[in-house]
Amino acid sequence: MTADALLSAEGITVRFGGVVALDGVSLAVPERSIVGLVGPNGAGKTTLFGVLSGLVRPRGGRVVLRGVDVTGASPPRRSRLGLARTFQRIELFTELTVREHLVVAHRAHERRDRRFLADLVGLGSRPPPREREVVDDLLEVLALTELADRPAALLPLGTGRLVEVARALATEPAVVLLDEPTSGLDAAEAERLAAALQQTRADLGVAFVLVEHNVDFVLGLAEHVTVLDFGKVIAGGTPAAIRADEAVQAAYLGTSTGAGAV
Amino acid sequence: MNALIVAGLVLGSIYAISALGLVLTYSASRVFNFAHGAIAYFVAVFYYWLHTRHGWSVPAAAFVSIGVVSPLLGLFLWAALFRRLAHTPPVVRFVSTVGLWVAVPALVKVIFPWTRNEIFEPEGLIEGEPRVFDVFGVAINANQLVVLIGAAVVAVGLTVLIRYTALGLSIRATVDSPRVAGIAGVNTSVVTASSWMIGTTLAGLAGVLLTPILGLADIQFTLLLVASLGAVVIARMTSLPLAFGGALLIGLAQEVSRQWLPDSGVFAKGFRPSLPFIAMLVFLLAYQGLRGERFEVEARATRQDRPEAPAPPPLRGWRAAIGPLVVAVALFTVPLWLSEFWVGVVSQGMGLAILFLTFTVVTGEGGMVSLCQMTLAGIGGFTAAKLATDSGWPLALALLAGAVVAVPVGMLVAGLSLRLGGLYLALATLAFSQLVENLVFAREDFDNFGTGVEIGRPEFFGIDFDDAAPFYLLLVVVFCVMALLVLNLRRGTSGLVFASMRSSEPASATIGISVVRAKMIAFAASAFIAGLGGGLYSIAIGRAAPASFGLIVGIVWLAIVVTWGVRSVVGALIAGIIFVVAPQLVSLYLTEGWADVPTMLFGLGAIALAREPRGVLFDVVNQHRLRRLRRQTRRDERARRAAPVPA
Q: Cα separations (Å) of A214 from A133, A243, B66, B628?
A: 33, 14, 57, 36
CA distance B74 to A242: 57
Interchain CB contact of B309 with A (< 8 Å): yes
Taking the CB of residue B622, how many other CB atoms lie within 10 A of it?
16
Same domain, B495 and B376: yes
* Chain B positions in Cβ-Cβ contact with residue A127 (cut-off 8 Å): none
Look at residue A201 and tell me if it is in a domain: yes
CB B85, CB B96: distance < 8 Å:
yes
Residues 199-258 of A with CB under 8 A from B: none
CB B436, CB B273: distance < 8 Å:
no
The stretch B474-497 carries a mean pLDDT of: 92
Last residue of a domain, one of B230, B260, B290: B260
CB–CB contact A147 B512 (8 Å): no
Buried b (16+ CB within 10 A) or exposed e, B349-363: bbbbbbbbbbbbbbb
Eight-state DSSP code of residue A173:
-
Q: How high is the pLDDT of residue B238?
A: 80
Residues 12-41 of A with CB under 8 A from B: 16
CATH code of the domain containing A115: 3.40.50.300
| Residue of A112, A164, A195 lying closest to B646 (CB–CB) | A195
CB A233, CB A23: distance < 8 Å:
no
Look at residue B645 and tell me if it is in a domain: no
Residue B182: Cβ-neighbour burial (10 angstroms; 0-12, 13-18, 19+): middle
CB A108, CB A171: distance < 8 Å:
yes
Interchain CB contact of B617 with A (< 8 Å): no
- Considering only B24-38, B383-397, B415-429, B620-634, which range has the smallest mean pLDDT? B620-634
Look at residue A136 and tell me if it is in a domain: yes
Interchain CB contact of B411 with A (< 8 Å): no
* Chain A positions in Cβ-Cβ contact with residue B641 (cut-off 8 Å): 188-189
The mean of the pLDDT values for chain B is 85
Q: How high is the pLDDT of residue A1?
A: 44
* Chain A positions in Cβ-Cβ contact with residue B307 (cut-off 8 Å): 94, 153
CB–CB contact A75 B506 (8 Å): yes
Total length of chain A: 262
CA distance B46 to A60: 57
Which is higher by pLDDT, A242 or B510?
A: B510
| Residue of A78, A94, A146 lying closest to B307 (CB–CB) | A94
Count Cβ–Cβ pairs < 8 Å, chain A vs chain B. 179
**What are the average pLDDT values for consecutive 10-residue runs of chain A, which has 262 residues?**
76 84 91 90 87 89 92 91 91 91 92 78 74 92 89 85 93 94 86 89 92 86 90 87 80 52 38
CB–CB contact B311 A151 (8 Å): yes
Domain count, chain A: 1
Look at residue B145 and tell me if it is in a domain: yes
Same domain, B382 and B472: yes
Residues 6+ apart with CB under 8 A from A172: A82, A106, A109, A134, A204
Interchain CB contact of B491 with A (< 8 Å): yes
Look at residue A2 and tell me if it is in a domain: no
* Chain A positions in Cβ-Cβ contact with residue B309 (cut-off 8 Å): 153
Whether pLDDT at B515 is above 70: yes
- Considering only A64-73, B9-18, B606-615, which range has the smallest mean pLDDT? B606-615
Q: How high is the pLDDT of residue A212?
A: 86
Residues 102-141 of A with CB under 8 A from B: 103-105, 107-109, 111-116, 118-125
Last residue of a domain, one of B260, B292, B309: B260
Total length of chain B: 647
Q: How high is the pLDDT of residue B294?
A: 42
- What residues does A227 pair with on adjacent strands? A38, A235
Q: How high is the pLDDT of residue B290?
A: 57
Helix residue ranges per DSSP H, B292-420: 293-301, 317-332, 334-337, 340-359, 373-385, 395-417
| Residue of A111, A120, A195 lying closest to B485 (CB–CB) | A120
Eight-state DSSP code of residue B313:
P
DSSP-based three-state secondary structure for B500: helix
Buried b (16+ CB within 10 A) or exposed e, B303-341: ebeebbbbbbeeeeeeeeeeeeeebeeebeebbeebeee
Look at residue A41 and tell me if it is in a domain: yes
Same domain, B252 and B362: no
Same domain, B83 and B223: yes
CATH code of the domain containing B177: 1.10.3470
The whole-angstrom distance between B516's CA and the closest CA on chain A is: 11
Last residue of a domain, one of B532, B551, B570: B551
Q: What is the pLDDT of residues B539-597, one digit of tens each?
A: 999 889 998 998 889 999 999 998 888 888 998 999 999 999 998 888 888 887 788 88
CB–CB contact A122 B488 (8 Å): yes
Q: How high is the pLDDT of residue B574?
A: 92
* DSSP-derived secondary structure for B594-641: GTTHHHHHHHHHHHHHTTSTTHHHHHHHHHHHHHHHHHHHHHHHHHHH
Look at residue B372 and tell me if it is in a domain: yes
Q: What is the pLDDT of residues B421-434, one digit of tens each?
A: 788 889 889 989 98
- Considering only A141-150, B130-139, B343-352, which range has the smallest mean pLDDT? B130-139
Residues 6+ apart with CB under 8 A from B35: B97, B98, B100, B101, B104
DSSP-based three-state secondary structure for A221: helix
The stretch B284-296 carries a mean pLDDT of: 58
* Chain A positions in Cβ-Cβ contact with residue B630 (cut-off 8 Å): 154
The whole-angstrom distance between A3's CA and the closest CA on chain B is: 25
Q: What is the pLDDT of residues B143-188, one digit of tens each?
A: 888 889 999 999 999 888 888 888 888 877 777 766 777 777 777 7
| Residue of B295, B511, B633 lying closest to A55 (CB–CB) | B295
Taking the CB of residue A68, how many other CB atoms lie within 10 A of it?
12
CA distance A191 to A221: 11
In chain A, which residue's Cα lies nearest the Cα of B640?
A146
DSSP-based three-state secondary structure for A206: coil
The whole-angstrom distance between B207's CA and the closest CA on chain A is: 38
CB–CB contact B311 A147 (8 Å): no
Look at residue A75 and tell me if it is in a domain: yes
In chain B, which residue's Cα lies nearest the Cα of A107?
B493
Look at residue A260 and tell me if it is in a domain: no
Residue type at B68 in one-letter notation: V
CA distance B396 to B64: 58
CB–CB contact A159 B640 (8 Å): yes
Look at residue B637 and tell me if it is in a domain: no
Residue type at A28 in one-letter notation: A
Residue B358 domain boundaries = 330-551
CA distance A58 to A77: 17
| Residue of A75, A149, A159 lying closest to B313 (CB–CB) | A149
Residue A152 domain boundaries = 7-253
* Chain A positions in Cβ-Cβ contact with residue B645 (cut-off 8 Å): 188, 191-192, 195
Interchain CB contact of A158 with B (< 8 Å): no
CB B251, CB B8: distance < 8 Å:
yes
* Chain A positions in Cβ-Cβ contact with residue B506 (cut-off 8 Å): 55, 75, 87, 91
- Find the helix or strand (DSSP H, E) in which B275 lies: helix B266-288
Same domain, B164 and B58: yes
Residue type at A110 in one-letter notation: E
Q: What is the pLDDT of residues B589-602, one digit of tens each?
A: 888 778 888 888 88
CB B442, CB B270: distance < 8 Å:
yes
Look at residue A227 and tell me if it is in a domain: yes
* Chain B positions in Cβ-Cβ contact with residue A118 (cut-off 8 Å): 492
The whole-angstrom distance between B295's CA and the closest CA on chain A is: 7
Q: What is the pLDDT of residues B193-244, one digit of tens each?
A: 999 999 999 999 999 988 888 777 777 777 666 778 889 888 888 888 999 9
Domain count, chain B: 2
CB–CB contact A124 B492 (8 Å): yes
| Residue of A74, A154, A171 lying closest to B511 (CB–CB) | A171
Q: Cα separations (Å) of B131 from B140, B248, B646?
A: 9, 24, 89
Q: How high is the pLDDT of residue B411?
A: 93
CB–CB contact B496 A147 (8 Å): no
Eight-state DSSP code of residue B302:
T
Look at residue B582 and tell me if it is in a domain: no
Look at residue A137 and tell me if it is in a domain: yes
